Structure 1
Amino acid sequence: MKRLFIVFIALMLTIPSFAYAHDVPGTGGFMSGLSHPILGFDHLLAMLSVGILSAQMGGKAIWKVPATFVIVMLVGGVLGMEGVKMISVELGIAVSVLALGLSITIEKKLPAFIAMIFVGFFAVFHGFAHGVEMPYLAKPEYYALGFVVGTASIHIAGVVVGVFFQKIKDGQRLLRYLGAAIAGIGFYLIAM
């Protein structure tokens, strides 16, 4: 795994267009796309929740559920870029925070396919929000790469949190409390 990471970094450094895909004010490149899911609190909570939920499910769901989110999020991004009309995007994102938080709290292991449909539904809203911003950016492909990397990284962090808490004493209960807190924030976002 460490070797794979080193090869990835070396490859990125040898491709100048990726190495220089950093943000210049007003251009909106890689760093802008990367920061959107990280700095957007609603996006951050939803992404963490997807990772935690997949860790609670275990097995192949650990990678299938987050991968489904990322793929469907890209589809939502394309819809946003193409100017497709979608109503209540912000509400959909807020509901995703509530629903994903509740899923962690309930801790009922869904079949992976059902969980993939569940997270995929919400991924459309998150991707659409990203995609609506892309056409106004000078480098939309770098922005898209940034928000995909940011989203996947947050999913991985959520998986790490989920796995860690499952290994410690009373960790399952703590995860349920965390899920309840996330759901509470989702409820607040909906009520705003």
Structure 2
Amino acid sequence: MKKTLTLVALSSVSGLALAHGGSDTGAHHGFVEGLLHPFTGLDHLAAMLAVGVWSAGSAGRRWIAPLAFVAMLLIGALLSQAGLAPPGIETMIAASLLVIGALLLAPRRPPLAIATALIGGFALFHGAAHGQELAGGPALAGMALGTALLHGLGIALGTALRRQAAWLPRATGLGVALFGLGLLA
């Protein structure tokens, strides 16, 4: 009975894990729909907040990785809309959670340029997923703003976590990495 209830509970929320089912290709056209789109899937939400939490540890350069993410997200969306979507989008989004979580979990921070390149590379896949569902400039502009807002919230969260205890951002990284691992399973 316990296994059955667990299975039912997990399957009832599984649709929340992915922001992009692909069945409504290009169905979202407006700015507000684009703005809200990054908030609608736990995978994107976790990745964008985690990028912000990680970036909070980059004193004076907090917006470098988030800006790279937004730029590459837009490039990925535009490539996807042009029919150049890379293969394995869902797998790479799950892998991004694992890697960004590992960046937070790591006892030593990698150089900012390396971490930003990793984060930006994964953002291409997040953008490709969003690009399959969003259509038009207003929706893409909304998506970029929504993503930047999530990064900003992540930076605020990361700053607050660091003030409470140095281990809290690392614990957040563990949670994000485990979420990514679960999506890969």
Identity %: 37
C-alpha deviations, 1:140-186, integer Å up to 9, x for none? 11110111011000000010011111122xx2212111110111111
Count how many residue pairs are aligned between Structure 1 and Structure 2: 159
In the other structure, the counterpart of 2:53 is 52
Q: 2:103–2:109: 8 Å Cα contact kept in structure 1?
A: no
In the other structure, the counterpart of 1:164 is 160
The residue type paired with residue 101 of structure 1 is G
Structure 1 vs Structure 2 CA RMSD: 1.4
TM-score of the aligned structures, taking structure 1 as reference length? 0.79
Displaced runs of 4 or more, over 6 A: none
Q: Distance in 2 between matches of 1:79 and 1:43?
A: 18
In the other structure, the counterpart of 2:175 is 181
The residue type paired with residue 43 of structure 2 is D
In the other structure, the counterpart of 1:39 is 40
Q: Distance in 1 between matches of 2:85 and 2:40?
A: 25
In the other structure, the counterpart of 2:29 is 28
Q: Distance in 2 between matches of 1:148 and 1:157?
A: 14
Gaps of 5+ in 1: 1-25
Q: In 2 relative to 1, CA 133–64 (structure 1 residues): closer, same or farther, beyond 3 Å?
A: same
Q: Does 1:149 align with 2:142?
A: no
The residue type paired with residue 166 of structure 1 is R
Q: 1:51–1:158: 8 Å Cα contact kept in structure 2?
A: yes
C-alpha deviations, 1:30-52, integer Å up to 9, x for none? 12111221111100000001111
Q: Distance in 1 between matches of 2:79 and 2:28?
A: 22
Q: 1:102–1:179: 8 Å Cα contact kept in structure 2?
A: yes
Indicate the structure with greater helix content: 1
SS at match of 1:37: helix
Gaps of 5+ in 2: 1-26
Q: In 2 relative to 1, CA 128–173 (structure 1 residues): closer, same or farther, beyond 3 Å?
A: same
SS at match of 1:165: helix
In the other structure, the counterpart of 2:21 is none
The residue type paired with residue 188 of structure 1 is G
Map 1:64-103 onto structure 2 (within 5 A). 64-103=64-103
Q: Distance in 2 between matches of 1:107 and 1:32?
A: 39
